[in-house]
Structure 1
Amino acid sequence: MREGAAQLYHMTVRDLRSTLRQPTYVVAALVQPMLWLLLFGQLFTPLMETTPGTAATGSYTVFLTPGVVALTAVFASGWSGVVLVTEMEQGLLNRFLVTPVRRWALIAGRLAQQAIVVLAQAVFVLLIGVSCGARFHGGILILLAFLAAMTLCTIAFASLSNALGLITRSHQTVVAIAQFMVLPLAFLSEIFVPREEMPAWMSAVATVNPVNWLVEIGRQSISEDVEWDDVLGRGCGLLAIALASFWLSTLALRVYQRQV
């Protein structure tokens, strides 16, 4: 167990160092969610600020802040498989497969790196939200629960993206499927509009949408009356999806290994 933990640590550090060597990527990763928050906030405020679901939060930007955190997690993790395909093409993955590194650590290290990057983006978005007037009345505990749920969502989507990369071995296919998966899930959630403003069929889909579960937990952080039963239920759902997705990605790695 200790050996596996050490391997996980080294793989995570390795992937983080690779990220930090790309300053343009780091800057873009921080600026993009900030632009989403500010631009979407300004665009939809005249339309949404008078609706009951957003008026209760004081402003649409406050309402939007948890949604942008969720959107950032989903979009960033959905592209994880592209990097894995690049490492396949460069032969790096094959080199790791002939080392004693455990297969789950190869996948988990990448997921940990992705989660750390998304966590940094989330904290940055939350700080921008605070500067725009957002207040997290639920307290530090629900805010930590929100960040934990965001981490689970990141692991789930990054695992699925990695599995796609291992199976298809194609940048274009990973990008196409990721966009096909991420965009509908984002717009079939309460990221931009409250449930009350959705058509009935979209509201029904939102109840089983894992992205919306994350958004709902995030909205609890700006509420003065936290419904912990709902938070626990949504969190358990995200945990189950994250574990299943991680298992699928490790299975895809074993299939890839047998084929090379």
Structure 2
Amino acid sequence: MTTMTVPRGGTAVRAKGSLLAHSWHFTAQSVKVLWRQPVYMLFMLVQPMIWLLMFGQLFQRVVELPGFAGINYTDFLVPGVVVMNAIFTGAWSGVAFVEMMERGIMDRMLTTPVRRGAIIIGSLAYHGLSLLVQGVIVITVGRLAGADYPGGPSGILVTLLASTLLIAAFCSMSNAFGLLLRTREALIGLSQFLTLPLMFLSSAIMAQQAAPDWIRTLSAYNPVDWAVVASREALSASPDWGTVWGRLGALAAVALVLGYLGTRAFGSYQKSL
């Protein structure tokens, strides 16, 4: 299927080639960039390590509250940290699009016959691969800090899958906001406005049974909580796989919808040029 795009100057350019081929190109470029930036990975691990090692130790006795069933808080926190890392990393991804627009790279790219969905997929690949590496490190450090994963490898894979679906949703949303807002300040402000409430309205750091009723009600519609619940359930000794797959399916649906909207945002951006 051929799509029509209109770059600056009003000249129509037809997107040529398959979405798969273009996506593979951008994904390969993303892997190369990620491979050349090991220091970036270390910096991105600072925040999750603070949550896991400092916050986790500080609130070890919070499990004495009703709703935690006497579990180890590190066990409880690890999937929450992996998921929180996904939303904060994804929410900042649109900054790269803003920088591309400021340098004129985005305008030049949109004059080429590249499929717009492939640009989004390239961004998702970069941040998704980065998240997977960070997720494995967080889970490993959590194990060294005393966390136990009765769900075994399958539970760990579900945790990584849930966080990947979540970062795909947040990356797509952030990229769309970047194309529409076009300034770092506006994008960062809006991202913070969305991510912090979503985090605290989930069970990432606090058991829902210990939260007020209105938070428990809202969390049922919160994709962040879906990812946390799926991860924590899969890592448990006796997972309820119906709950796990239900949450993963909902996350996949949200990621697909936001990915589509992120691609459509290119049209709004071009019309304003």
How much does 1:72 deviate?
Answer: 0.3
Question: Quick one: distance in 2 between partners of 1:39 and 1:54?
Answer: 20
Inter-partner Cα distance in structure 1 for 2:145 and 2:171? 30
Structure 2 runs not aligned, ≥5 long: 2-16
| TM-align CA RMSD | 1.7
Equivalent position to 2:65, from 47, 51, 54: 51
1:124 aligned to 130, 133, 137, which one?
Answer: 137
More displaced, 174-183 or 103-112? 103-112
**Residue 202 of structure 1: aligned partner:** 215
Indicate the residue corresponding to 1:155 in structure 2.
168
Give, in whole Å, the separation in 2 of the partners of 1:174 and 1:20. 27
Deviation per residue, 1:86-132 (Å, 9 max, x gap): 01101111121122211110111111111111111111110011111
1:108 aligned to 2:121?
yes
> Which of these residues, 200, 204, 212, is aligned with residue 187 of structure 1?
200
Please tell me whether residue 11 in structure 1 is matched to residue 26 in structure 2.
Answer: yes
> In 2, are the aligned partners of 1:20 and 1:26 still within 8 Å (CA)?
no
Residue 30 of structure 1 aligns with an amino acid whose one-letter code is L
Once residues 204 and 48 of structure 2 are traced to their aligned partners in structure 1, the CA distance between those partners, rounded to angstroms, is 13
**Residue 54 of structure 1: how far off its partner (Å):** 3.4
What is the CA deviation profile of residues 217-243 of structure 1, one whole-angstrom value per residue up to 9, with x for unaligned ones? 111133111001111111111111101
**1:164-187 deviation line (CA, Å, top 9, x unaligned):** 000011111110000000000000
Alpha-carbon distance in 1 for matches of 2:85, 2:68: 20
Q: Does the aligned pair in 2 maintain the 1:71–1:186 contact within 8 Å?
A: yes
Between 218-227 and 193-202, report the one with greater CA deviation.
218-227
C-alpha change, 1:205 and 1:174, in structure 2 (3 Å) is same
Q: Percent of counterpart pairs with the same letter?
A: 41
Out of 180, 186, 203, the position equivalent to 1:173 is 186
Contact 1:153 1:211 in 2 (8 A): yes
Q: TM-score, structure 1 length as denominator?
A: 0.93
Match of 1:40 among 55, 64, 68: 55
Q: 2:149 aligns with which of 136, 145, 148?
A: 136
How far did residue 36 of structure 1 move?
A: 1.4
Q: 1:221/1:52 Cα in 2 relative to 1: closer, same or farther (>3 Å)?
A: farther
Which TM-score applies when normalising by structure 2?
0.89
Unaligned runs of 5+ in 1: none
The within-5 A match list for 1:193-232 is 193-232=206-245
Structure (1/2) with the larger helix percentage:
1
Higher mean alpha-carbon deviation, 180-189 vs 118-127, is at 118-127
Secondary structure of 1:226 counterpart? coil
Contact 2:234 2:241 in 1 (8 A): no
Give the Cα–Cα distance (whole angstroms) in 2 for the partners of residues 56 and 225 of structure 1.
17
Offset from partner CA, 1:113-152 (integer Å, 9 cap, x none): 1111111111111001111122221232232222112111
4+ aligned runs moved over 6 Å, structure 1: none
Contact 1:111–1:158 (Cα < 8 Å) also in 2? yes
SS at match of 2:229: helix
- Residues matched between the structures, number: 258
> Match for 2:33: what amino acid?
S
Any idea what the Cα deviations from partners look like across 1:183-208, whole Å, max 9, x if unmatched? 00000111111111001111111111
1:145 aligns with 2:151: no
